[in-house]
Amino acid sequence: MRHFLRLGERTVPLEEELVVGRNGDCDLVLEVQGVSGRHARIVRVADGYQISDDGSTNGTKVGGVRLRPGTPRALTHGDQLLFGTVAASYHAALDVSHPPDASTAKVAFAMVQAMVASLDRGPIVRVVEGAEVGQQLSLPIDSGRTLGRAEEADLRLLSDGISARHLEIRRSVLGVFVRDLGSRFGSHLGNVRLEPQRWVPWEPGRSLRLSKTVVLGLDAPRTADDFAPVSIVEPAAAAPSAGPAASAPKIQVTDVPPVSVREPAPASAAVVALPGAASPIAVPGRRRGAPVWVPYAAGAVVLVLTIATLVWVLKG
């Protein structure tokens, strides 16, 4: 699996550790106002990557939630990151294996199969911070999932501040939606507290915080860029080392425009009926009547066009 950050049009590969900051000795040098000398670091762990803030002045956010300095947060594919005033996103490209002599058509067909399998699996909810970090929950379409301390919860969370029935998550053809079930200490999407018993859309890349102890991440839909063809070859005998390996080159970025860190003002919520749900969906930040399905439809169109292109390659 290939892991990398995207900063605008730039792609920054991730290896064992990536230190981000303004100082020249950082691995990713961001010479941008609002970024501290040593701002944050991303470190490889057994099941992926974790990010932590190194005590920066303007903070590091993942999915709209500010990190506590020194507290690591597991990264989920599609997470939106903010280093002070510099925006980035984290991606984990799935490897698509094929023989070294495979034709372009066979490689394209393997990528189509991987995309279809990814769609069939659906999005995954992951615990990225808290005592239960690493646990995950699949979301079959048109079925609800509950999270809380209760034994019957689909994802049982025993961290401090979690209610017996804290949150419900539902996936429909419109996307993924969440509602707080009247928990004592609440739920926050980004830094906006959810109104009890009101459905709201959970867009990938945004973090969901339960109480002050548990943070959830949602896998983003994968595009053609998130599948990496990998040739299967026999491992060659290791050549004798001619000396110490060269260190990875520094990546210096000076032309990334800063983004506004001010949170959007609350707007009137549109209400949309969710099939099978007991209450309507409140869609914050949208004008009344604006269709909530537009971003999901746009993603589906992009995927269909990608598959159509690959099919054309197959026929060629």
What's the 3-state SS for the chain? Answer: CEEEEEECCEEEECCCEEEEECCCCCCEEECCCCCCCCCEEEEEECCEEEEEECCCCCCEEECCEECCCCCCEECCCCCEEEECCEEEEEEEEEEEEECCCCCHHHHHHHHHHHHHHHHHHCCEEEEEECCCCCCEEECCCCEEEEEECCCCCCEECCCCCCCCCCEEEEEECCEEEEEECCCCCCEEECCEECCCCCEEECCCCCCEEECCCEEEEECCCCCHHHEEEEECCCCCCCCCCCCCCCCCCCEEECCCCCCCCCCCCCCCCEEECCCCCCCCEEECCCCCCCCCCHHHHHHHHHHHHHHHHHHHHHHC
- Asked if residue 78 and residue 6 are part of one domain, the reply reads yes
- Asked if residue 141 and residue 198 are part of one domain, the reply reads yes
- How many domains, in total, are found in the chain? 2
Q: What is the pLDDT of residue 9?
A: 82
- Asked if residue 143 and residue 213 are part of one domain, the reply reads yes
| CATH of residue 44 | 2.60.200.20
Query: Per the confidence metrics, is the pTM higher than 0.85?
Result: no
The candidate with the shortest Cα–Cα distance to 33, out of 198, 258, 307, is 258
Domain final position from 168, 190, 219: 219
Domain final position from 191, 219, 247: 219
**Is residue 309 situated within a structural domain?**
no
Burial of 115 (0-12, 13-18, 19+ CB in 10 A): buried
Q: Which domain holds residue 171?
A: 122-219
CB 161 within 8 A of CB 211: yes
In angstroms, the CA 284 to CA 230 distance is: 42
For residue 15, what are its two tokens? Answer: 């290896």
**Is residue 105 situated within a structural domain?**
no
Q: What is the pLDDT of residue 211?
A: 93
Q: What is the pLDDT of residue 283?
A: 44
**Is residue 7 situated within a structural domain?**
yes
**Is residue 52 situated within a structural domain?**
yes
Q: What is the pLDDT of residue 47?
A: 81
**Is residue 82 situated within a structural domain?**
yes
**Is residue 54 situated within a structural domain?**
yes
Q: What is the pLDDT of residue 59?
A: 95
- Asked if residue 16 and residue 78 are part of one domain, the reply reads yes
- Asked if residue 89 and residue 173 are part of one domain, the reply reads no
Q: What is the pLDDT of residue 112?
A: 60
Q: What is the pLDDT of residue 179?
A: 96
**Is residue 72 situated within a structural domain?**
yes
**Is residue 306 situated within a structural domain?**
no
Domain final position from 168, 195, 219: 219
Tokens 């032309």, residue located: 255
Please report, in tens digits, the pLDDT of each residue of the chain (316 residues total). 688 998 888 888 899 999 999 999 999 999 888 999 999 999 999 888 999 999 999 999 999 999 999 899 999 988 999 999 999 999 887 655 555 555 666 656 555 655 555 555 568 899 999 889 889 898 888 778 999 999 999 999 999 999 999 999 998 888 899 999 999 999 999 889 999 999 999 988 899 999 989 999 998 766 555 555 443 334 444 444 444 444 445 666 655 555 443 443 443 334 444 545 555 444 444 444 445 455 555 666 666 666 666 666 656 5
- Asked if residue 132 and residue 208 are part of one domain, the reply reads yes
